[in-house]
Amino acid sequence: MAWYDEAVFYHIYPLGLTGAPKQNPYGAPEHRLNGLIPWISHIKEIGCNALYIGPLFESVGHGYETTDYKKLDSRLGDNKDLADFVKECHSQEIKVIFDGVFNHTGRDFFAFKDIMEKREGSQYRDWYCNVNFGGNNEYNDGFSYDNWGGYNLLVKLNQRNPAVRDYICDVIRFWVKEFDIDGIRLDAADVLDFDFMKALRATANDVKDDFWLMGEVIHGDYTRWVNEGTLHSVTNYQLHKALYSGHNDHNYFEIAHTVKRLYEMGGSRPDGLKLYNFVDNHDVERIYTKLNNKAHFAPVHILMYTLPGVPSIYYGSEFAIEGKKERFSDDSLRPALNLADYKDAVKNNPYTALIAALGKIRQNSKALSYGDFKELILTNRQYAFSRSYDGETVIVTVNNDDNGSSMTVAAGNCGEYIGVLSGERVSVSNGNICVNIGANSGEVWIPYSDGAKKNISPVKLNQPEKKSEPKPEPKPEPQHEPQPESQREPEQVPQQNSADNAPTVTNADFERGRISGLQEAIIAIMEKKGPVTEQMKRDVYNNTHHDSLINWVKSFN
């Protein structure tokens, strides 16, 4: 067992969160990283015990065109700021991993600048892939080279060069010595050389006990990367896609199929694959934006926290903020936020309260970290499974329908269960529990005991204003394969009253007017930028949470 087996991650893109300039002037350090110190307590409060933060090191723009691997980006501060930040995280029992951008460097990196100056005479000419002094590029360098993603701004390192490998391994040792980090997320791991990754793993095993290597991998057989010789984990993009489209399409078969395939990929063992689970990050749209029905925020996150894997929350998504990927900019995915704007969010924001409750149960249940996986119920709109470990069985039930549903679920010999989100207690009868799950909702059931009471954090999940009685469990609908996103019809989502999602206020009429004004302002801004479809309008009117609307307005800046 290692710390990452029980980790609940928080993910920060620091250049965005701190509001740093888009271009680096390479001037005196601006100590913006120190402004993130208060976020550490927030991370702790919502039940996270690990932080993935990056990119951090000197670069020219968005952070992934590295200039200096051993110097904090001057837009964020200096190395002392970073060391102090990690130290404070550790003092609050939060592990820290950095973003390791080792597939490519920026053009201002010392080795590439030496090639530009000395050309064929540079000792670093073999540090990059396919340097051709008979070619040229848009920078008029008088030579060409391999890049990442078609961007000559990102120059691909020759990872088979022993000098490059030794240099990067030395960078890892430097980060551990200078900043005392606990692991690294490898950028673009799906295009890294496998022998190079083996060298990184050997270094990881040497520098610190339980030093974690997690790689960014989009598609493929994850076991190619996750094994004893290379990485401990990779990003679970397969589950990411299934979680949002499975809800948008009312198709739990897609989610269940993905989960079973990944579980089998790991040998059908709870310790087979510990993938990094997420529903959004700095490269994809916010989950609150992607969901056709915003009430699905609850079942999506219940699944993300309880399915096999290591859960992660991207900064701001615990507040249900918006973030839409634009054709030429990711800025709206990486906004500057002021933590003071979300004061007491755990108490007043139902989305934040849900995330905090799930973080708490995740940290207090060994079964959710180490337990096996067993599917119990599957229809298009209802899904239940269990996680069992060391005599403890946790049962998870979710419902993506606009009506409540009753489920009869196998529960073994335990006498009584309690729902950690509702506090409801149910008795086991003939080896089953019969539970009622609200519309677009879910619950995590744990064996009831005096000790279990500490895990209970009742929260108000999204419910329709007019509640309907639970209906009998429907017969399974025909399984259907998910369509490509381009072929899907947008789902018609009924508007919800603001009281469903917004905290209670003293003057309800004033609050409704304030929400309405923000909605109208957002639509007006959107109309100035281009055509506004009916679906876009529905997305605006279905968002009735004040803080989320405020950040939506800010995202247009």
239-251: pLDDT as tens digits: 999 999 999 999 9
**Helix pair 508-529, 546-554: axis angle to 10 deg:** 20
Q: How far apart are CA 56 and CA 100, in angstroms?
A: 9
Residue 194, SS3 per DSSP: helix
Strands (DSSP E) contained in 231-359 are 233-234, 276-277, 310-314
Q: How far apart are CA 285 and CA 552, in angstroms?
A: 13
Burial classification of residue 132, based on how many CB atoms lie within 10 Å of its CB (0-12 exposed, 13-18 middle, 19 or more buried): exposed
Closest CA relative to residue 293, chosen from 443, 400, 383, 442: 400
Q: How far apart are CA 53 and CA 23, in angstroms?
A: 19
Q: Scanning the structure block, which residue is given the tokens 């490998």?
A: 165
Rg of the chain in Å (alpha carbons): 24
Could you tell me the sign of the dihedral formed by the alpha carbons of 530, 532, 535, 541, in that order? positive
* Residues forming beta bridges with residue 310, ordered by sequence position: 276
- Chain centroid offset of residue 387 CA: 22
Q: How far apart are CA 466 and CA 461, in angstroms?
A: 14
DSSP run (H or E) holding 56 = none
Burial classification of residue 94, based on how many CB atoms lie within 10 Å of its CB (0-12 exposed, 13-18 middle, 19 or more buried): buried
Q: Scanning the structure block, which residue is given the tokens 């859960």?
A: 311
The 3-state DSSP composition of the chain as helix, strand, coil percent (nearest 5) reads 40, 20, 40
Closest CA relative to residue 416, chosen from 437, 446, 440: 446
Question: What CA–CA distances, in Å, run from 65 to 73, 105, 153, 385?
Answer: 11, 5, 7, 43
Low-confidence stretches of the chain (pLDDT < 50) are 463-510, 557
- Identify whether the C-beta of residue 457 lies closer than 8 Å to the C-beta of residue 357: yes
Strands 57-59 and 233-234: unpaired
Q: How far apart are CA 339 and CA 222, in angstroms?
A: 36
**Residue 536 confidence (pLDDT):** 62
Q: How far apart are CA 197 and CA 202, in angstroms?
A: 9
Cis amide bond preceding 531, omega within 30: no
**Residue 480 confidence (pLDDT):** 41
- What token pair was written down for 521? 């302002």
- Identify whether the C-beta of residue 299 lies closer than 8 Å to the C-beta of residue 399: yes
**Residue 421 confidence (pLDDT):** 95
* Residues forming beta bridges with residue 147, ordered by sequence position: 155
Residue 95, SS3 per DSSP: strand
Q: Scanning the structure block, which residue is given the tokens 């096996």?
A: 372
**Residue 475 confidence (pLDDT):** 37
Max CA pair span of the chain: 80
- State pTM to two decimals: 0.83
Closest CA relative to residue 443, chosen from 310, 296, 303: 303
